[in-house]
Homo-oligomer: A and B are copies of this chain.
């Protein structure tokens, strides 16, 4: 979910865009550090950031659209979820984007936030309680006690929207969970699904492409076996030649991640979300691969053209997320949270066999964070696929998105609606309207708008 970012590019991006969309006010909320233990080290408050705009709000009557922030700076989500403000304008809603604890500027323990044991208060339950408390108190402050709340989120943020609705329906009337892999993250599903679906995206655009990629990875393997490191350096424009099995594994991970990002972010126009991406990056890559260079690194890691070579370890962090981690403190937090065991096998996908078992994860988490993962916990705590008691949730997914099949693809009842977006990448529907939008996403947004209007006009 979280992925590689050139952090300087991102920073540049954020400064630019905050200037472009001045309607959000940036504010801070005094939040309880530990909701679940009155005697713990977290016996105090911290400043949790949120963004708010009331320019579309029918004061004291209109609904509240609340984005349940996920693993990053909240501005990045606010600036890439234009659908929410467009819908707010239509439906007279107040809009709030709340930043997830331990990300962005919402650090409960300042510079000690990522130490052990301070990191221990980074949990989904605490994040949900943050949002529940924040919504309740802001409603009081804003004279919005009777205004129904609709939650929105993409990816892990979409999971949080689902969880808010199922755990706090007293506070949340409905939710739109875009590209939320609530099943795969709960351990339901198939560890080969993710990279199989990444592969399928490339195959769809150019069937011959996957053969080229397999060939290139094979070639890399042979060069590595021969320890022809200078050739590897040249082929992949590395700043330094690799010098160990670990370096080669890191290169394989970096390349696999670049393909993953292109599949996830295969939008029909260029974007600046999780780095810079050209329009239709999968197509761009498959086209350029017909020439001699198969490396996707240029598109993903050097879209600004600033780099003259790639450094293996500054671009891509070795971490507990098999789909890749970013850099900076946000990726530290994500490394602590992530709970996936996706693997590639070179049979059902085009990548080299790279496994990541529960045992690998346990070893990593014990060593890095002094914790032992609990693989069954999400299913116990957040219901897994036993959702029959839930209601008023939209599960949207795009068929280009490798995360899609880890989520809910079929409607489960008349108020648990699956919206599938043909030709849609990772939560495309949350993005603002664009001339290049496929009809499918225009229609999906219309469906979502109608369902959301129902949720907040129904008597509570």
Please, what's the 1-or-0 string for A443-460, where 1 marks a CB less than 8 Å from any CB in chain B? 000000000000000001
Q: Is the CB of B120 within 8 A of A38?
A: yes
- A374 to B36 alpha-carbon distance, docked (Å): 11
Q: Is the CB of B116 within 8 A of A388?
A: no
Interface secondary structure of A, over-half rule: loop
B-facing residues in A101-135 (Cβ within 8 Å):
116-121, 123, 125-126, 129, 132-133
CB contact under 8 A between A389 and B170, given known A38-B371, A38-B372, A39-B370: yes
In the A-B complex, the 10 residue pairs with the smallest Cβ-Cβ separation, listed nearest first, are A39-B120, A169-B389, A170-B386, A170-B383, A38-B371, A39-B117, A37-B120, A36-B36, A36-B125, A132-B380
Q: Is the CB of B39 within 8 A of A170?
A: no
| Interchain nearest-CB distance for A373 vs B (Å) | 8
| Interchain nearest-CB distance for A101 vs B (Å) | 13
| Interchain nearest-CB distance for A141 vs B (Å) | 14
Q: Is the CB of A383 within 8 A of B169?
A: yes
Please, what's the 1-or-0 string for A167-209, where 1 marks a CB less than 8 Å from any CB in chain B? 1111100000000000000000000000000000000000000
B-facing residues in A126-158 (Cβ within 8 Å):
126, 129, 132-133, 136
Please, what's the 1-or-0 string for A377-406, where 1 marks a CB less than 8 Å from any CB in chain B? 101110110111101000000000000000
CB contact under 8 A between A386 and B460, given known A132-B380, A136-B380: yes
Q: Is the CB of B121 within 8 A of A37?
A: yes
| A124 to chain B: closest residue by CB | B36
Q: Is the CB of A39 within 8 A of B116?
A: yes
Determine if A369 is an interface residue (Cβ-Cβ < 8 Å): yes
| A40 to chain B: closest residue by CB | B120
| Residues of B close to A123: CB separation below 8 A | 36-38
Q: Is the CB of B169 within 8 A of A167?
A: no
A sample of 25 inter-chain contacts (CB < 8 A) reads A36-B37, A36-B125, A37-B120, A38-B120, A38-B374, A39-B116, A39-B117, A39-B369, A39-B371, A40-B117, A40-B120, A132-B380, A132-B381, A133-B380, A136-B376, A136-B380, A168-B380, A168-B383, A169-B386, A169-B388, A170-B386, A170-B387, A170-B389, A386-B460, A388-B460
- A316 to B349 alpha-carbon distance, docked (Å): 70
| Residues of B close to A125: CB separation below 8 A | 36, 125
Please, what's the 1-or-0 string for A354-380, where 1 marks a CB less than 8 Å from any CB in chain B? 000000000000000111101011011
- A287 to B136 alpha-carbon distance, docked (Å): 51
| Residues of B close to A381: CB separation below 8 A | 129, 132
